[in-house]
Amino acid sequence: METLLALVTGAMVAISVYLLLQRDLVRKIIGVVVLSNGIHLLIFAMGRVTRAASPLIPAGDKYPPEVIANPLSQALILTAIVIGFGLLAFSLVLVYRLHESNGSADADSIIEVTLGDQ
């Protein structure tokens, strides 16, 4: 299972690098999202189920379960997903406004329009 997660994480990082090298700003934003999801998957794979003592013992049980999931990595991923969603929404609004004002979401054309105004 860990091998599959490593392969999927590597594929996601490779796809994100390809998208980040594109000129279109929407593809760059999608590349950042795919990269953050790949990193989330990596953190999830690193904080897998281990043998440890559970911090809470369920009612009626005499002993805590021996195999538990690491809650720290889960909380870190959940926080990163929320922050990433806010960043995605803000970035999409910025690209939309750039497209409205310049007529294109291409990075090179935006630079040409900006330098041409000076």
* Residue 39 pLDDT > 80: yes
pLDDT at 78: 93
Domain coverage including residue 4: 1-52+68-117
pTM, two decimals, is: 0.76
Query: Which position has the token pair 């929320």?
Result: 82
Answer whether 24's CB lies under 8 Å from 106's CB.
Answer: yes
What's the total number of domains in the chain?
1
* pLDDT reading at 8 higher than 90: yes
For the chain, what is the mean pLDDT? 85
Confidence band of 49 (pLDDT split at 50, 70, 90)? low
pLDDT digits (tens, 9 = 90+) for 65-85: 666 667 788 889 999 999 999
Query: Which of helix, strand or coil describes residue 12?
Result: helix
Q: What CATH number should be reported for the domain holding residue 47?
A: 1.10.287.3510
In a domain, 62, yes or no: no
